Amino acid sequence: MSDERTKPTEPPQPAEPTELPAPPPEVEQAALMGHFDDAVNLYVKFTGVDRDAAREVVERFAAEH
């Protein structure tokens, strides 16, 4: 018989980029102008995600546009 309370919990996994919100217009504009650090900082500010995830989103956006 399995008891949920005795199961070790797995650490939370980082969100997949596809699960993250689309960049707001301010982030898109900064990325398109080549201001990647500013774009990452804005994405973190608007969404609250960690910097690594934000950088992935910004880099993916820039590559697509």
- Long-range Cβ contact pairs of 54-59 (< 8 A, separation 24 or more): 56/17, 56/20, 57/17, 57/20, 57/23, 58/23, 58/27, 58/31
Q: Which two tokens stand for residue 54?
A: 């934000």
Q: Higher-confidence residue: 63 or 8? A: 63
Domain boundaries, the chain: 19-64
Please state whether the predicted TM-score (pTM) of the whole model is above 0.75: no
Q: What's the confidence (pLDDT) of residue 19?
A: 82
User: Mind listing the pLDDT tens digit for each residue in 2-59?
Assistant: 555 665 565 555 545 458 999 999 999 999 999 999 999 999 999 999 999 999 999 9
pLDDT greater than 70 at residue 61: yes
Q: What's the confidence (pLDDT) of residue 10?
A: 59
